[in-house]
Amino acid sequence: MRARREVVPVALKALDIYKMLPKKNCKECGYPTCLTFAMKLAAGKADADSCPYLDEATKHLLRGATRPPIQLVKLGVGERSVPVGDEIVLFRHEKAFYHPPAIFFSISDRWDRDRIIAAAARVMDEVFPRVGENLRFNGLAIRNDSRDPAAFGRAVAAVEEEAEFPEVLISDSPAALEAGLAHCGNYHPVIHAATKENHAGFAALAKRFGCPLVIRSGDLGELATLAKACTDLGVRSLVLDPAPGNLGEFISRSTGIRKKAIDRSVPDLGYPVYLDAMAFAPEEAAIVTGILKYAGVIVTSVLSPGTAKMALTLRQNIYTDPQKPIQMTPGLYRVGEPGPGSPVLATVNFSLTYFTLLGYLEASRIPCHLLIVDTEGFSVLTAVAAGKFSEKLVKDSLDRFQVAGQVQHRTLVIPGYAAPLSGRIEEVTGWKVLVGPRDAADIGEFLGKEWVAKSPPAP
């Protein structure tokens, strides 16, 4: 059903595009026919420039018809730059959300230098490893609370001493923004925020420094008009601040923007959305709302460790592909410094299972070998029910990763939920099977009783 819903609009779009093509079938675009080229264009896999026979006006039309409904906006430069936007669905289960919102800690130009540097150092150095990824915050948003251009310039300069990450410059004063841009203009900070009244001057600054520009209005029609005006003035990267007065307004405006951008009814709303989470209490609710409801840029206070982990964990979970479980590479992993008498535990390659089990194994301080078998990312329960965790797979994995060469015994610990397979695994592999606990939290106690105390069980 899903595949059909995707293919039909692409085919219809391809027919519309085909009508615009010269139809010479000369193959200069690299495709065998104009129709193939139209299909590739419609699917976003070809570029209008590839056909030398199209005039500029038609190319312009085609670019508009084939560009992503929400533009990709790159924040900052270098290794820590972040792409946001380029989303194609309203609901995560329809496909996936691809570009997680960039989260910026907010600092004030009224803060003293040490406090600014401490916040910058947190963004620079803090890393939360979770299920195989290193999670981190993306940058600093510097507020011009003092309304003094010199103070703003000093605050940006202090950040620049520490920072190699994206920044947001927040001010309604072009003079203050210029003072900040003098220190970080080369790194393309985001400028916040152009309004109906000041957009020409802000657009000129954004264009001069090549910065993404946030435009702000609580009226979606006015936001679209402003976006068009700013792109006409030469600013290519925009972010939309729907100026919500409460979280309900944020949800309704952000959802409206997403809908109108995705169905292309208002293409000028096809940009990532901005949320100042600090404007709402509790801030945690605003952060959660922003992550779930389409924010591309979220500005927060300098978060406590607990809230920081919550925000990064939720962001990671929402921005994984729901159709592809996060997987570990199958193999034989060492936990601690295992020897030939250390236990061998088999489990699935669902990342969350691996990292949860790994945490408890490390806490137990019992070195062991962890055999990760390829269950296509399924958890233990699902893999057993779906036949993905089988005696044949266990045998193949033992052979493939030469587990017998690593240990002197022939005893394998399998997950508690795989107990129904224990007999068949023993029969097919020739290894004695110990059925482990169902809950990974009990693995330390289990190994203590069943392995260490028996040191080790007889082969």
Q: Which residues bind ligand SF4 (CB under 6 A)?
A: 21-22, 24-29, 31, 34, 37, 51, 53
* Of residues 25 and 316, the one with the C-beta less far from ligand SF4: 25
Angle at 374 between CA 381 and CA 349, to 5 degrees: 60
Q: Please tell me the total number of residues recorded for the chain in this structure.
A: 459
* Of residues 34 and 298, the one with the C-beta less far from ligand SF4: 34
Considering the complex, what minimum distance in angstroms separates the CB of residue 26 from ligand SF4?
4
* Of residues 59 and 309, the one with the C-beta less far from ligand SF4: 59
| Residue carrying structure tokens 């269950």 | 375
- Number of Cβ atoms within 10 Å of the Cβ of 257: 23
Main-chain dihedrals φ then ψ at residue 345, nearest 5 degrees:
-115, 130
* Of residues 52 and 420, the one with the C-beta less far from ligand SF4: 52
* Of residues 26 and 285, the one with the C-beta less far from ligand SF4: 26
Beginning with the edge strand found earlier in the chain, give each strand of the sheet holding 331-335 in spatial order.
331-335, 368-373, 344-348, 411-414, 432-435
CB 17 within 8 A of CB 62: yes
Considering the complex, what minimum distance in angstroms separates the CB of residue 46 from ligand SF4?
9
Integer-rounded Cα Rg, in Å, for the chain is 27
* Of residues 54 and 412, the one with the C-beta less far from ligand SF4: 54
Crossing angle for the helix pair 391-400 and 422-429, to the nearest 10 degrees: 40
Rounded Cα distance, 378 and 383, in Å: 5
Position 440: which residue type?
A: A
Considering the complex, what minimum distance in angstroms separates the CB of residue 42 from ligand SF4?
13
Considering the complex, what minimum distance in angstroms separates the CB of residue 12 from ligand SF4?
18
Within 55-172, strands assigned E span 72-75, 82-85, 102-108, 128-130, 133-135, 139-143, 167-170
The pair of structure tokens assigned to 210 is: 């090549």
Considering the complex, what minimum distance in angstroms separates the CB of residue 55 from ligand SF4?
12
* Of residues 37 and 152, the one with the C-beta less far from ligand SF4: 37
Considering the complex, what minimum distance in angstroms separates the CB of residue 18 from ligand SF4?
9
The pair of structure tokens assigned to 238 is: 């925009």
Considering the complex, what minimum distance in angstroms separates the CB of residue 54 from ligand SF4?
7
- Number of Cβ atoms within 10 Å of the Cβ of 388: 19
* Of residues 38 and 312, the one with the C-beta less far from ligand SF4: 38
Considering the complex, what minimum distance in angstroms separates the CB of residue 28 from ligand SF4?
4
Angle at 413 between CA 408 and CA 418, to 5 degrees: 150
How far CA 256 is from CA of 93, 212, 351, 433, in Å, comes to 19, 22, 35, 56
Crossing angle for the helix pair 34-42 and 2-20, to the nearest 10 degrees: 130
Considering the complex, what minimum distance in angstroms separates the CB of residue 47 from ligand SF4?
11
* Of residues 39 and 203, the one with the C-beta less far from ligand SF4: 39
* Of residues 54 and 435, the one with the C-beta less far from ligand SF4: 54
Within 211-294, strands assigned E span 213-216, 238-241, 273-276
